[in-house]
Structure 1
Amino acid sequence: MDSSADRRGVLYPAKLPEFIRVQAPEPLRDRVGWFWMARWNISPGRTSRQELLPFPCMNLDIQRQGVTLSGAARGASHRDLTGTGWVLAAMLLPASTPAFGFDPRALLGTEVSIPGSELHAPVCELMTGAANSESLEAAIKLLAAWLEEKVPHAKSQGLLANQLLELAAGQRDIVNVPQLANMLGISVRSVQRLARDYVGLTPLSIIRRYRLQEAAQRLRENPEITITQIASELEYADHAHFTTDFRQVLGFTPSAYRANSQPLHEALRASRHVAQPPH
């Protein structure tokens, strides 16, 4: 199984419960970014709040309660975990959107139940059994097969919408919609229509989301880099513009986020070091 250590989207990775991200198999990569699984066991009477700046994508989630489709988040969000539980999910690429029959704008920040009893029962049986890599791999294979059957291969517009996200995520010098349109070889209006029909967010908010995900990752993982340097590397005009953008979306300043995340990050590094086997 090919898992990724990428923690963008999670604002405080050190607070995560068991969390695994697995690349989608080759035949599904035009429709699914990756599969992910979280499993938790929180002490009675306690709550673990997971604070997120999610990727601008829909997710198909399987939990004990059923199968749901979650729209892209409007901005920073959180999940409160209690008791014992798990979730197995697929992060869907924009090309998957038409298969589910929802206007993605109507799903922003919400989730809806969808039919999937034939998938839910066998996945629950695997996920509530022994927690091991074999059961997880089997559950992911079931979900992948279900998606392969339910979601048609991407058509040209869906592939273009996928490319829109790929460019916004990977090209740091793209800071506005005309630049994105130029890279895609289409008009600004066409970019706006793609984002509306396949993601539900504006193209500028998609660009901003990826830049701020990268900014948060740098703030918590690279304390030696100044906030001004991060602002410059991410093509912000200056420190003030970066701080305003960060605070508007996440609700706090970059300096406050760095101060809060650093002790957790150091604790995570220490625990990983202790867990290293002798060489």
Structure 2
Amino acid sequence: MRRIPRGIVDEHVARTKFTLARHAPAPALAEFVDYHWVLNWDLDGFHDQHVLPNVAVHVTFFPGACGVYGPGHTLFTHRLEGRAHGLGVRFRPGCFRPFLGAPVRLLADRSVPLEDVFGGGGAEAAESVRNASGDQEMIAAVDNLLIAKQSALAPAARTAAAAVETIAEDPEITRVDQLAARAGLSARALQRLFAEHVGCTPKWAIRIYRLNDAARSLADAGSPDFADLAARLGYSDQPHFTRDFRAVTGCSPGEFARSARRAVSAEPIEHKPIAHKPR
């Protein structure tokens, strides 16, 4: 089964703060884009949403967060306030270089304005998203922007994308040498390929998938067995797993699991899904 790290922290609480829908891109973009994700929120105050690091490039069209976001190594936090909507694009890892026109490693742990990648069309698409009356209107504006910018994937990009797909489809891949063997490359060649087209090291990509799996298991388990979870994720011992998990999330697996249980048991906060209205 193909895994996609989505990484929403305290998802049970998040569901009371905003609505999330995922949509397929235009057929012409299917090779480049995994999906569009649309958020709507209507809050009296604000909500700080934390998201685990990801290996994908995301292009976002939200109030206060229009930009191109590269693969990260730390927890990402975005504040939702008032009433708004927006759209994000999750690119297939390995498939953003044709849009960037430069090595994707330049986006690692940073973001750039839409205009740096898409020129004036980025601002126009953002305005269309802000004034959209529905999801399909937003999607059409963004699809048109991407189709105008796209070019063919190079063979190396296809190889990089296939290597990430191998990680996504096979949880038994826990080491770089395993992945290199499956890709038919040396470990060094695989590292160069990832720097150019994915924007992170293959070791980090493997770790992100493992830690997203861990977060999902910890959120779902009533009384998690941390040693067993570490072993199932391919860690040699529990302390190594705990160090990796804390480095990414800022808390231990136990603290993460307790927070998830508190979120499940909390009283739901009223949330009103909204239709898009021009702002």
SS at match of 2:77: strand
Amino acid at match of 2:150: V
CA distance in 2: counterparts of 1:104 and 1:47, whole angstroms: 33
Q: Check the 8 A contact 1:30/1:153 in 2, yes or no.
A: no
Q: Check the 8 A contact 2:42/2:82 in 1, yes or no.
A: yes
Gaps of 5+ in 2: 271-279
How do residues 175-214 of structure 1 correspond to structure 2 at under 5 angstroms?
175-214=174-213
Q: Which residue of 1 aligns with 2:7?
A: 9
CA distance in 1: counterparts of 2:148 and 2:193, whole angstroms: 24
Between 1:155-164 and 1:62-71, the stretch displaced more is 62-71
CA distance in 1: counterparts of 2:82 and 2:46, whole angstroms: 8
How do residues 151-230 of structure 1 correspond to structure 2 at under 5 angstroms?
151-230=150-229
Provide TM-score, normalisation by structure 2. Answer: 0.83
Amino acid at match of 1:71: G
Deviations 1:137-156 (CA, angstroms, capped at 9, x unpaired): 22212312321221113221
Q: CA deviation at 1:53?
A: 0.8
Q: Which residue of 2 aligns with 1:3?
A: none
Gaps of 5+ in 1: 1-5, 272-279
Q: Which residue of 2 aligns with 1:59?
A: 58
CA distance in 2: counterparts of 1:230 and 1:170, whole angstroms: 19
Q: Which residue of 2 aligns with 1:40?
A: 41
Task: Give the aligned length.
Answer: 261
Amino acid at match of 1:9: G
Q: CA deviation at 1:100?
A: 1.6
Given the superposition, is the C-alpha separation of residues 12 and 92 from structure 1 closer, same or farther in structure 2, using an over 3 Å criterion?
same
Q: CA deviation at 1:54?
A: 3.2
Q: Which residue of 2 aligns with 1:105?
A: 105
SS at match of 2:90: strand
Q: Check the 8 A contact 2:85/2:130 in 1, yes or no.
A: yes
Given the superposition, is the C-alpha separation of residues 15 and 269 from structure 1 closer, same or farther in structure 2, using an over 3 Å criterion?
closer
Q: Which residue of 1 aligns with 2:246?
A: 247
Q: Which residue of 2 aligns with 1:27?
A: 28
Q: Which residue of 2 aligns with 1:86?
A: 85
Between 1:175-184 and 1:14-23, the stretch displaced more is 14-23
RMSD: 2.7
Q: Check the 8 A contact 1:47/1:80 in 2, yes or no.
A: yes
Q: Which residue of 2 aligns with 1:96?
A: 96
SS at match of 1:183: helix
Q: CA deviation at 1:255?
A: 0.6
CA distance in 2: counterparts of 1:81 and 1:65, whole angstroms: 9
| Identical counterparts, % of pairs | 24
Q: Which residue of 2 aligns with 1:275?
A: none
Amino acid at match of 1:244: R
Provide TM-score, normalisation by structure 1. Answer: 0.83
Amino acid at match of 1:98: P
Q: Check the 8 A contact 1:66/1:113 in 2, yes or no.
A: no
